[in-house]
Chain A
Amino acid sequence: MIESVVQARNLVKSFDDLHVLRGVDLDLFRGENLVVLGKSGSGKSVLIKIMVGLLTQDEGSVKVLGQEVKDLNSRQLNELRLKIGFSFQASALYDSMTVRENLEFPLVRNVKNLSKQEKDKMVEEVLDSVGLLQTINQMPSELSGGQRKRIGIARTLILQPEIMLYDEPTAGLDPITCMDINNLINQVNEKYKTTSIIITHDLTCAKVTGDRVAVLLDGTFGASGKFEEVFENAEDGRIKSFYDYNFIKQ
């Protein structure tokens, strides 16, 4: 039986009068890429932020690698976070640091007794794996949107996480760069043997990267399964219109 690395049950989250999640159930199995689709503001990012303890749910439970996230103390939460890579929508690179310093930041704080040579080797290796070794001494402001995304992914990979959470990895990028990022997600999954959740509203990204897709509608999952199963025979008008709009109905 395949192990479930993330398990959410009856997850409820509201912001004042805005009910974002209304009883979400989710299972993420080891080694798979799960794509969570949904409109802007449907609560996709909230869902993964609850998984890393950046937000706390109002009701329900989220177990990551067998641990109930909301019950962890700060030390236990930090230990869990080391096993999770979180790639932010706007990359969230530290503006005042070079690419090298950005990548070293999680490393020097979480891996003890690392020599300079070892540190340099790890940084160069992970930068090479996203194809941006030449940017090592550049500032984030000197990079393009696609490069920033790649560096953001590299920064999460440096601690070799078991789970990768991608928040809108292709948002704001041109179609060619989107394809590059989609391929990178697949390469990362293959090379680092990660289990991933990819939050997006880009169906091309969902099709290329996802083993399974789940569509978040009105605070719960409206449909889930393989891409073709969900979209090709969709009866729900909201899912159909999502598909038609993304691929410009022919």
Chain B
Amino acid sequence: MSGESTKKEKVISKRIDRFFMGLESAYLFVKRFFKEVWFPPYEFKEVIRQCYQIGYNSLPLISLTGFIVGVVFTNQSRPSLAEFGATSWLPALISIAVIRAMGPLVTALIAAGKVGSSIGAEIGSMKVTEQIDAMEVSATNPFKFLVVSRVLASTFMIPVLVLYTDFVALLGAFVNVHANEMTSLSTFFVQVFDALSFLDITSSLVKSVIFGFTIGIVGCYKGYNSTKGTEGVGKAANSAVVMAMFLIFIEELLSLQVTNFFRQL
């Protein structure tokens, strides 16, 4: 009996050790990013290539999802407002919901799935096929070329995608509102912008930057530390998505608290 409990204790202690070692290695990875990002050589070409991959290649998926979110959210909100005879408030309600929360969150979750997994898998497969070692022996800093460029690109492009998603979701909402309430485009957008404050837009952009950084750094960290051949690549891609999504929700919660604090000032 005591032998069994000692065995269990060992397993638990190993898991705790592994958890803290993982935290330390993630901390060192992020620290290395902030150390290397400021100094030359700068991989501008690679950053632009990655911006194209992350931004342009995500447009079809983001467009479709954003539009559907706008249409569905408007449709679901109408009955509640109709009970109070307040359907004219729909544009204001939707703009606040989309700009403050749904636009950044939906974009970040889609990007975590699409971009995070692709970064994790790409860097993971480069790691297990010795391509990263090959860069290192040809006197190139692979961290700078692969990690810094991807994290920067994702940090720049996610806010751009969020703005685009906001616009497409509002367009979807307009289509629905126009079909039901016959509201014109100009009236709709006047009401949308009237409902928004400077804090709404800045907080949305600031958290998009944080989401972008998270997606990039988690994907790179998981890929860069992948082991055990092709199985490891799959695991890296999968855990990059799971970890990024988890962190995005935590960051959303924290950003809500911070924004509310500023709102009350």
Cβ–Cβ contact A92 & B138, under 8 A = no
Closest chain A residue, CB of each to CB of B139: A78
Cβ–Cβ contact B134 & A86, under 8 A = yes
Cα–Cα distance between A79 and B126 once the two chains are bound (Å): 24
- B233 CB to nearest A CB, Å: 12
Give the one of A49, A52, A93, A109 with max B CB within 10 A: A109
Report how many residues on chain A are interfacial, defined by Cβ distance under 8 Å.
Answer: 24
Contact with B along A89-119 (1 / 0, CB 8 A): 1101111100000000110011000000000
Cβ–Cβ contact A109 & B131, under 8 A = no
Question: Which residues of chain A have C-beta atoms less than 8 A from B131's C-beta?
Answer: 92-95
Cβ–Cβ contact A95 & B125, under 8 A = yes
Cβ–Cβ contact A54 & B140, under 8 A = no
Cβ–Cβ contact A110 & B137, under 8 A = no
Question: Which residues of chain B have C-beta atoms less than 8 A from A88's C-beta?
Answer: 130, 133-134
Cα–Cα distance between A90 and B131 once the two chains are bound (Å): 9
Cα–Cα distance between A106 and B122 once the two chains are bound (Å): 20
- B221 CB to nearest A CB, Å: 20
Partner of B140, one of A86, A92, A95, A106: A106
- A88 CB to nearest B CB, Å: 5
Cβ–Cβ contact B41 & A89, under 8 A = no
Given A90-B129, A94-B131, decide whether A109 and B137 contact each other with a Cβ distance below 8 A.
no
Contact with A along B118-146 (1 / 0, CB 8 A): 00001001100111011111111000000
Give the one of A86, A92, A95, A156 with max B CB within 10 A: A92
Cα–Cα distance between A49 and B132 once the two chains are bound (Å): 13
Cβ–Cβ contact B138 & A81, under 8 A = yes
A181 located at the interface, meaning its Cβ lies under 8 Å from any Cβ of chain B in the complex: no
Question: Which residues of chain A have C-beta atoms less than 8 A from B125's C-beta?
Answer: 95
A69 located at the interface, meaning its Cβ lies under 8 Å from any Cβ of chain B in the complex: no
Cβ–Cβ contact B129 & A109, under 8 A = no
- B223 CB to nearest A CB, Å: 13
Cβ–Cβ contact A110 & B139, under 8 A = yes
Question: Which residues of chain A have C-beta atoms less than 8 A from B135's C-beta?
Answer: 105
- B52 CB to nearest A CB, Å: 13
Q: Which of B91-149 contact A (CB under 8 A)?
A: 122, 125-126, 129-131, 133-140
**Interchain residue pairs with CB less than 8 A apart (17):** A54-B136, A79-B139, A81-B137, A84-B137, A86-B134, A90-B130, A92-B133, A94-B131, A95-B129, A95-B131, A96-B122, A105-B135, A105-B138, A106-B140, A109-B138, A110-B140, A155-B134
Question: Which residues of chain A have C-beta atoms less than 8 A from B137's C-beta?
Answer: 52, 54, 81, 84, 86
Taking A90-B130, A106-B140 as known contacts, 4 extra A-B pairs with beta carbons closer than 8 A to each other, sorted by chain A number, are: A49-B133, A84-B137, A88-B130, A155-B134
Contact with B along A150-187 (1 / 0, CB 8 A): 00000110010000000000000000000000000000
4 smallest beta-carbon distances between A and B, as pairs:
A106-B138, A92-B134, A78-B139, A92-B130
A82 located at the interface, meaning its Cβ lies under 8 Å from any Cβ of chain B in the complex: yes
Cα–Cα distance between A52 and B126 once the two chains are bound (Å): 19
Question: Which residues of chain A have C-beta atoms less than 8 A from B134's C-beta?
Answer: 86, 88, 92, 94, 155
Cβ–Cβ contact A106 & B133, under 8 A = no
Q: Which of A183-218 contact B (CB under 8 A)?
A: none
Question: Which residues of chain B have C-beta atoms less than 8 A from A110's C-beta?
Answer: 138-140
Cα–Cα distance between A81 and B136 once the two chains are bound (Å): 9
Cα–Cα distance between A84 and B138 once the two chains are bound (Å): 8
- A127 CB to nearest B CB, Å: 17
Question: Which residues of chain B have C-beta atoms less than 8 A from A105's C-beta?
Answer: 135, 138, 140
Cα–Cα distance between A90 and B130 once the two chains are bound (Å): 8
Cα–Cα distance between A106 and B137 once the two chains are bound (Å): 9
- A64 CB to nearest B CB, Å: 12
Cα–Cα distance between A155 and B139 once the two chains are bound (Å): 13
- A194 CB to nearest B CB, Å: 15
Cβ–Cβ contact A92 & B129, under 8 A = yes
Cα–Cα distance between A77 and B220 once the two chains are bound (Å): 25
- A70 CB to nearest B CB, Å: 15
Q: Which of B15-67 contact A (CB under 8 A)?
A: 41
Cα–Cα distance between A109 and B140 once the two chains are bound (Å): 7
Cα–Cα distance between A92 and B130 once the two chains are bound (Å): 6
Cα–Cα distance between A150 and B109 once the two chains are bound (Å): 43
Cα–Cα distance between A88 and B137 once the two chains are bound (Å): 10
Question: Which residues of chain B have C-beta atoms less than 8 A from A79's C-beta?
Answer: 139
- B133 CB to nearest A CB, Å: 6
Q: Which of A1-57 contact B (CB under 8 A)?
A: 49, 52, 54
